[in-house]
Amino acid sequence: MLEGLNPAFILIVGALLLPALPGRLRGAWLLAVPALGLLQLCMLPSGESGHIELFGLTLTTLRIDRLSFVFGIIFHLAAFLSMVYALHVRDLLQHIAALIYAGAAIGALLAGDLITLFVYWEITAVSSVFLIWARGTDRAFRAGMRYLIIQVGSGVILLAGIVLYFHQNGTIEFSHLGLGSTATNLIFIAFGIKCAFPLLHNWLQDAYPEATVTGTVVLSAFTTKLAVYALARGYAGEEILVTIGATMTAFPIFYAVIENDLRRVLAYSLNNQLGFMVVGIGVGTELALNGTAAHAFAHILYKALLFMSMGAVLYRVGTIKASELGGLYKSMPWTTGFCIVGAASISSVPLLSGFVSKSMIITAAAAEHHWFAWLVLIFASAGVLHHSGIKIPYFSFFGHDSGMRCREAPTNMLIAMGATALLCIVIGIYPQPLYALLPYPVDFAPYTVTHFITQLQLVLFSVMAFTMMMRSGVYPPELRSTNLDFDWFYRRAVPHALGAVVDLGWGVSRVLMELALIQVERVLTLTDRILGPDGVLTRSRTTGAVTLLVMLCLLVMVIYSLA
């Protein structure tokens, strides 16, 4: 252990050293860097360190407590599994961007002050966009630009809030902030953008599906969960988060059910799962915050597993449209099995990770009498089973036979999926090691008879409903289409409105310019008539006429002087 060394530096410096290594060593280096970071994290003592004096401010670059530690563990695990999944990729830029992105996310959650948080916050934005642009398509470039604008915009709002907060309180410590002032409200909005709050969420569905096969897996792990951590650190117990979180769990369901792009379905599902965590933060009790941390841990794993399986499909057959897939279990049986584990985990099937984490949040909401939110969470649990638990594996690997035949996913992809699936199973069967990492002592038993039977009923009735809707033709068909979401306003409506305003402005300016030119022409014509070569005042006159004109002028002056 290197005393005081931030694990984030290991990943960021490791990424920068990658180009200097021989090609044959790069794969081992990609795995060693997050493993060394995890080892360093586990050996660091609790408390604050890494103090830096800057412009009269004391920055705390390293804070280890139980909340940051559990997020640090899963961030390192996610980075390692993502590197295993991407070992076949020969694009050096993607590997560098992924390691810097993961390192910056880890640095942000270990930050003890708001300035350090802001610096890493912006590094995550800039580094992660290269995982989208690396796709190399025009759609990816435009989605990446929108993503970068929104993420950097979140940082600008965060910085404005930090400046006001320091001005009002004289401190930059990153602890509980709470709502109630302009400064903390701005910081809350910045966190909300990164957490994909309702109406601020579409950057996620816009950008993630356009990233590379491996880039989407990396993106799914860090940005939004960093925002969840920041909210848990700064705004635990804020009632408004219960409403926001409940909304987040419900509305993406409808979009996910009708969406044809399966990676976009998973992006909506990601939004849905974030809602559970946000509700837990809003409830704010020890059980709820433990549930938030546990669910973030489990969610990173099973969501990565689902994105890995869909990435393998995209890598092998070149499409991820549900309307074009089906029957791939014949060609990709291992990928199919791993996808089913991920789908069952997100659906909270007993003996899998989602069952032992999501139930903590639902129980905490009921214990604090948030009954409406509790009902919404139950509804959302059934909904996620439809769009991620059933739709993803059914339309990609089963359903109608598309006739596509391909090879199984590359070995490194299978190893990454297998390890992630194993973690989902182990956590579901034996959650005590995860519970031991949580911020507060855990007094919760997931495998009660009531919870077990209730969840089985929910799963069975959801499967039955899906089957009946498919058999009766009620279930929305998978069609090549574009579904309109709130991003239509800033992708289409606002640009068109601005274009119309600009066109109107140019039209008005042209009319005003033409009128001005007409008036100028009239003035010039009148001037020419008076002062031109043949003007009234400049044409040749006789001596008598001039003498008469002078006498008239003198007469006027005499009359004016006598008046």
- Residue 481: predicted pLDDT: 61
The structure tokens listed for 282 are 């809003």
Task: Encode pLDDT of 434-464 as tens digits.
Answer: 999 999 999 899 998 888 888 888 888 877 8
Residue 20: strand, helix, or coil: helix
Tell me whether residue 117 is exposed, middle or buried, using C-beta atoms within 10 angstroms of its C-beta: 0 to 12, 13 to 18, 19 or more. Answer: buried
- Residue 485: predicted pLDDT: 66
Question: Residue 533: what are its φ and ψ, rounded to 5°?
Answer: -55, -35
Kindly report which listed range (212-216, 421-425, 474-478) carries the lowest average pLDDT score. Answer: 474-478
* Mean pLDDT (whole number) for 523-542: 66
* Mean pLDDT (whole number) for 342-360: 93
The structure tokens listed for 78 are 């996610």
Task: Encode pLDDT of 59-76 as tens digits.
Answer: 999 999 999 999 999 999
Report which DSSP code applies to 258: H
- Given CA atoms 369, 71, 205, 469 in this order, what sign does their dihedral have? negative
Could you give the C-alpha distances from 155 to 125, 257, 458, in angstroms and in order? 9, 33, 41
Task: Encode pLDDT of 12-29 as tens digits.
Answer: 999 999 999 988 899 999
Residue 19: strand, helix, or coil: helix
For the chain, what is the mean pLDDT? 89
- Residue 496: predicted pLDDT: 76
